[in-house]
Amino acid sequence: MVFVVHSSSFDVPRIYPSDRHQQTIQLKGFPTFYSQHGEYILPVNLWFHYLVNIKQEVDVSSAVRAIKRYWHFLEANGYEWNVFPASNALKPTYRFRNDDLLKSARNGEIAFSTASLYILHVIKFYEWAMHEQLLSLSEAERPFNYQVVHIANTGMMSHLHPRFAIRSTDLRIRKPARHDHQKLNPLSEHELSRFAHCLKQGSDEFIIHQLLQIQSGLRVEEACTFPYSAVQAPDRHTARYEVEIGPFNGVHTKYDKKRTIEIPQSLMQRMYEYAIGERRYLRAQRAIPTGQHIPLLLNRQGTSFTSNNVQQHFRRLKQAMTREGNRPFPHRTHDLRATYGTYRLDSLLAHLPEGDAMALVMAWMGHQDEKTTWKYLRYLRKEHANQSAVLMLDVIMAEALQ
């Protein structure tokens, strides 16, 4: 099983150009991969060194998750990263795409967008390896094939150029097209009860993470990096707390946007008890603090709770709910955020004008475009219309049968 160590910054000798005032160059630490036998995975580590120190990527977390998952797949099936049979069906890249990513996406374990992003990172890794001549393959042995794809032009000049061509690969994963309101998949009231019942069996960190999503509308990464400094002693007279989050306090918000979220009193109480509790204290002692921002949720190693930790816990939760309810639980972690947005908007519409309710939800959830928030309103209107239609049908049938 592959494991990753986040190395510290280090100095290397300066070779060229020479400088008598500066004999060394400091390089940033990067995620360092080791195999299940403790072997240093050289090509992967060279690539992450390239991303961090040459390209100076700000965030390589998605690349880490993608390559880690790919290497798990290689080791589990006995494949070599640099051995490619002539048949595409036998190449590890195609097997990873078809047998792991697509299968998981169709089962609802990961989103199609996540699968598409993961295979893109694998493609970039191999493109870099071939450019650096770490791979020397014939045409038949290449890890993937390039092809020209025609994309619809949705810009202002689309009437002149309705389509344009781009270079892609045959490994790409297409996201199924859906209507806007169909993208929302909030939990029903019955599913919420089942979810809350099974969630009680989870770890303290996982419970708080899921509650931050479903009660405050945070994204997965935002809940993982929620800051320790934002937790405060709860006041029984305060029903909901407003907390600012963003890069300034270590939260990985989308577009690095600073925003204010709301936290219910019960969740703040739970987070405060965890923050001052022995469990978190012992975990914090296992790792040397890195950076100025300390996350609230810590894993067993004493480092920040990661999205990978979340997905592992959520997979077990779905399995438990399926066993107990004898029915599948067709949701992913992002649906918890959709649940918050839908139910919160519905509650606000009972007391506020439509425009004001929309503005509040848009701000709390950090939507960049108001069209995203409109999806929640359209969803609610559709659900209310369906409920009214069903009630009317029930009345008509009851009167007819009587």
**pLDDT one-digit tens code per residue, 198-227:** 999 999 999 999 999 999 999 999 999 999
| Residue 332 and residue 197 share a domain | yes
Is residue 279 over pLDDT 90?
A: yes
Is residue 74 over pLDDT 80?
A: yes
Residue bearing the bigger pLDDT, 163 or 280? 280
pLDDT tens, position by position, 248-273: 999 999 888 999 999 999 999 999 99
Residue 348 lies in a domain: no
What percent of the chain has pLDDT above 70?
A: 86
Give the residue from 320, 338, 356 where a domain finishes: 338
| Residue 103 and residue 40 share a domain | yes
Residue 265 lies in a domain: yes
pTM tops 0.85: no
Q: Where is average pLDDT lowest: 42-46, 99-103, 177-181, 295-299? A: 177-181
Is residue 118 over pLDDT 60?
A: yes
- Region 374-379: mean pLDDT is 88
Residue 284 lies in a domain: yes
Q: Which CATH number characterizes residue 313's domain?
A: 1.10.443.10
| Residue 329 and residue 204 share a domain | yes
pLDDT, residue 181, reads: 43
Average pLDDT score, the chain: 86
pLDDT, residue 174, reads: 81
Residue 40 lies in a domain: yes
| Residue 218 and residue 100 share a domain | no
pLDDT, residue 402, reads: 52
Q: Where is average pLDDT lowest: 19-28, 229-238, 325-334? A: 19-28
Give the residue from 143, 175, 205 where a domain finishes: 143
Domain with 133, as residue range(s), is 3-143
**pLDDT tier, 325 (very low <50, low <70, confident <90, very high otherwise):** confident
> Which range scores top for mean pLDDT: 167-171, 224-228, 305-309, 329-333?
224-228
| Residue 221 and residue 87 share a domain | no
Residue bearing the bigger pLDDT, 397 or 345? 345
Give the residue from 116, 143, 170 where a domain finishes: 143
Q: Is residue 33 within 8 Å of residue 71, measured between CB atoms? A: yes
Residue 359 lies in a domain: no
Is residue 123 over pLDDT 80?
A: yes
**pLDDT tier, 147 (very low <50, low <70, confident <90, very high otherwise):** confident
Could you give the maximum distance between any two Cα atoms of the chain, in Å? 100
Residue 97 lies in a domain: yes
Nearest CA among 239, 230, 237, 302 for reference residue 271: 230
pLDDT, residue 395, reads: 65
pLDDT, residue 314, reads: 94
Q: Where is average pLDDT lowest: 91-95, 113-117, 388-392? A: 388-392
- Region 154-165: mean pLDDT is 60
Residue 166 lies in a domain: no
| Residue 201 and residue 305 share a domain | yes
Is residue 291 over pLDDT 80?
A: no
pLDDT tens, position by position, 18-53: 666 666 777 888 999 998 888 999 999 999 999 999
Residue 374 lies in a domain: no
Q: Where is average pLDDT lowest: 8-17, 100-109, 129-138, 265-274? A: 8-17
Domain count, the chain: 2
